[in-house]
Structure 1
Amino acid sequence: MPYITVDGADLYYEEHGEGDEIVISSANGFHPTYPAALAQAPTNYRVYTLQTRGFGRSGRLDEAPPQGYLNRWAEDVIALADHLGAEKFTYTGISHGGGIGWVIAHRFPERLKALLSVVGTPHLRYGVTDSSEGRRKIVDNPGNTEIIREAMAQIAGPTPEGREELREAVMELALATKLERDPKEARINQGMPFPEAKDNDALREVLSTIDVPVLILGGMRDGVIPPGSSVLAGAAVRRAKTVLFEDEGHWIAKESPERLVREIKLFMDELDGTALPARNEALSLAGGEAGTV
């Protein structure tokens, strides 16, 4: 099992695939599907998943890092990239893992080829910047099955029609993971990216300084990262592309990873200049003219 030692902590990571495109993701824990799916066709990337310090097989934390959890975890991702010899890499993260990516994009933009943010744009500001309501319920009630299930259902959002059985299976797996965590893990509250931004105008100003290609993938039914969060970030970041799924919520990466992979494939091909030609170019290649039918 591969580990990297960073500032006295042994951090656990896994490698998926053998492609040339390096993708790093970090989170408290990973669902079996995404982001490992990016190591398979049609993307075939080389994917590294880094478990955040304080959780699972990574080293424990006796106290909160002085720079804050998200900043500490972002620095750990950079350390892994250095260990891998990856001067530039693509980062993808889900929810709190997406928050890590936004911190990297803000603090270490020169290291990123792109940020792929999955239901992970910075929370909208309503006077609270320490965490979402659902997250606070989970942190404040470790081991309480009923409250944690209720909080996770709130975070996930309404269940799409026809997906009830899958949602229940995902819920049971997520609930078991939460209940199995030791007390130190269960009480970690990572907070929000950019807590210094106390309102949405201040958040928009911070995001406007980010100069990295960003793909924002969100769900219209998300119970913690509402579509307004994705729209705010997409409008503030100059090189952002925003895709919102009407019938998806906060658990899109667990329930519909193939939809994420398709959008990521297109976005990365556009960055590399290998995507299908734009309409005007396609018309020109076919001997037609733009605007003709």
Structure 2
Amino acid sequence: MTRELLDHRAEGPASAPPLLLGPSLGTSHALWDEVAPELSITHRVVRWNLPGHGGSAPGLLRAGATVGDLAALVLELADALGIERFGYAGVSLGGAAGLHLAVHHPQRVSSLAVLCSSAHFNGAGPWRERAALVRREGLASLAESADARWFTPGFTVPRLVRDHRDADPEAYAACCDALAAFDLRDRLADIAVPTLLVAGREDPATPPAHLREIADAVPGAALVEIPGASHLAPAQCPGAVLSALRAHFGASAGPAGRGMAVRREVLGDAHVDRAQARQTPFTARFQDFISRYAWGEIWTDPTLSRRERSMITLTALVAHGHLDELALHVRAARRNGLTPEEIGAVLLQTAVYCGVPAANSAFATAQRVLAEEDGRGG
């Protein structure tokens, strides 16, 4: 009989490089809600829930469990999804699972990011006490203090607090057992995959010193500290976490990763962020096509310069009457170094080969955009 898998959510193209996202104790994969959609443009993102959290069965971990037991469940999920080698990012307990995988199953992990976590969690005693408390009284009192442990004063994410309150007490206690037994300090030097450590400067649970300890021991590891972030940095400071993870995992994302970088350089972060915010499962493959093919293969081809590509693009958009896209690419042309006079010369050329009415509309659109850019000091 096949054992039940961890509850999970998959996003992004099936052909993209896999990236698994692990949660912190007491949370669900909703911890990654502000980060996963963006990562799914360049990766096949799989975020999973701890046993007894979200939709994961409580019985997947028992009393006396270890982080190794949790890592085995992650590998079972990857195997079931046909994922042999993957990038991995995890928060707190999810980060500990990533460290275990990188040490004990290095052939499965291509790149690792450990967020707000540790190679040890301040000794076994406090975790054994918490496990006993939860087994005796449930999670209500702990959920009441979740904001203080997870976020800076005045910040909260009600969904995550609710997930904490709704977690299965016995499974939560088993996770505490795993944290109590975890200490990987003597094996950190064995980690050979590219490794990023992300610390929240205001994190009382795993302060930056814990992440610095890992960074100092893992060969070639990098450390990023996020100002204003406490223990659940992906929920509190998603933009900063995204920037760090994009930079770290981008090298493994192939044309889609390169394309997303170029797309942002040419069109600007604001436009790309709006496009990503509007993405749905229905449009995800089209967004991947744009990033991977148009931006990752065509715009990165060194045969033509970006200036030349902008001039060609403007001409094509005038020819087909795509005025909204034309406005976007007039701004892009300015970023690519074209002057207003050069843009005007391109549009004048289109009057000869695309027709005066098309050029007339194009000049009106370009004039409006350039006036807006000039008004902003662009």
TM-score range, shorter chain: 0.7 to 0.9
Contact 2:87–2:110 (8 Å) recurs in 1: yes
Residue equivalent to 2:4: 9
Distance (whole Å) between structure 1 residues aligned to residue 168 and residue 124 of structure 2: 27
Query: C-alpha offsets along residues 141-194 of structure 1, whole Å, 9 cap, x if unaligned?
Result: 42434x5323x24422543xxxx3xx13x1x33332222234434433334569
* Matched-pair contact (CA < 8 Å) for 1:121–1:216: no
The equivalent of 1:50 in structure 2 is: 48
The CA distance in 2 between the partners of 1:192 and 1:184, in whole Å, is 13
**For the residues of structure 2 that align with 1:133 and 1:76, how far apart are their CA atoms?**
25
Partner of 1:92: 89
Which 10-residue stretch deviates more, 242-251 or 34-43?
34-43
Which residue does the alignment assign to 2:164? 178
Are the counterparts in 1 of residues 151 and 236 from structure 2 also a CA contact under 8 Å?
A: no
CA pair 62-260 structure 1, distance change in 2 beyond 3 A? closer
Matches of residues 152-163 of structure 1 in structure 2 within 5 Å? 152-156=146-150, 158-159=152-153
Which residue matches 2:30? 32
Q: Which moved more, 1:212-221 or 1:21-30?
A: 21-30
The verdict on how the C-alpha distance between 1:157 and 1:187 changes in structure 2, with shifts beyond 3 A counting, is: same
1:149 is the counterpart of 2:149: no
Secondary structure at the counterpart of residue 199 of structure 2: strand
- 1:37 positional shift: 2.7
1:91 offset after TM fit, Å? 0.9
Deviation of the 1:21 alpha carbon:
1.8
Give matches, 1:142-221, under 5 Å. Answer: 142-145=138-141, 147-150=142-145, 152-156=146-150, 158-159=152-153, 164=154, 167-168=155-156, 170=157, 172-191=158-177, 195=181, 197=183, 203-221=184-202
The two structures have a TM-score, normalised by structure 2, of 0.58
Instruction: Tell me whether 1:236 sits opposite 2:233 in the alignment.
Output: no
CA contact (8 A) 2:66 2:178 kept: no
- Offset from partner CA, 1:241-279 (integer Å, 9 cap, x none): 110123211121112212111111112235679689xxx
Q: Which residue of 2 aligns with 1:59?
A: 57
Amino acid at match of 2:124: V
- 8 Å contact kept, 2:16–2:43: yes
Tell me how far apart the structure 2 counterparts of residues 257 and 231 of structure 1 sit (CA, whole Å).
21
Closer, same or farther: CA 63–260 of 1 in aligned 2, 3 Å: closer
Cα distance change of structure 1 residues 157 and 231 upon mapping to structure 2, 3 Å threshold: same
Relative to structure 1, the CA distance from residue 133 to residue 208 in structure 2 (aligned partners, 3 Å threshold; closer, same or farther) is farther
Structure 1's 21 and 130: CA in aligned 2 closer, same or farther, altered over 3 A? Answer: farther
Distance of aligned partners of 1:143 and 1:12 in 2 relative to their CA distance in 1, 3 Å threshold: closer
Letter of the aligned partner of 1:16 in structure 2? E
Identity %: 20
Question: Structure 1 counterpart of 2:91, which letter?
Answer: I
SS in 2 for 1:56: coil
Contact 1:70 1:103 in 2 (8 A): yes
Return closer, same or farther for 1:117/1:184 CA change in 2, 3 Å cut-off: same
Matched, 1:72 2:69: yes
**Structure richer in strand, relative to its length:** 1
> For the Cα contact (< 8 Å) 2:202–2:230, is it kept in 1?
yes
Q: Secondary structure at the match of 1:80?
A: helix
Quote the RMSD (CA, aligned, Å): 3.3
In the alignment, what sits opposite 1:291?
Answer: none
Structure (1 or 2) with the larger CA radius of gyration: 2
Cα deviation digits, residues 61-96 of structure 1 (max 9, x gap): 186266x24212211211222223222100111121
In structure 2, the CA distance between the partners of 1:215 and 1:226, relative to structure 1 (3 Å rule), is same
TM-score, normalization by structure 1: 0.73
Structure showing the higher helix proportion among its residues = 2
Instruction: Specify every segment of 5 or more residues in structure 2 that has no aligned partner in the other structure, as ranges.
Output: 263-378
Aligned length: 254
Structure 1 counterpart of 2:227, one-letter code = E
Judge conservation of contact 1:92–1:101 (CA < 8 Å) in 2: yes
* Contact 2:31 2:235 (8 Å CA) reproduced: yes
* Alpha-carbon spacing, 1:12–1:270, altered in 2? closer, same or farther (3 Å): closer
- Greater mean deviation of Cα atoms: 237-246 or 53-62: 53-62
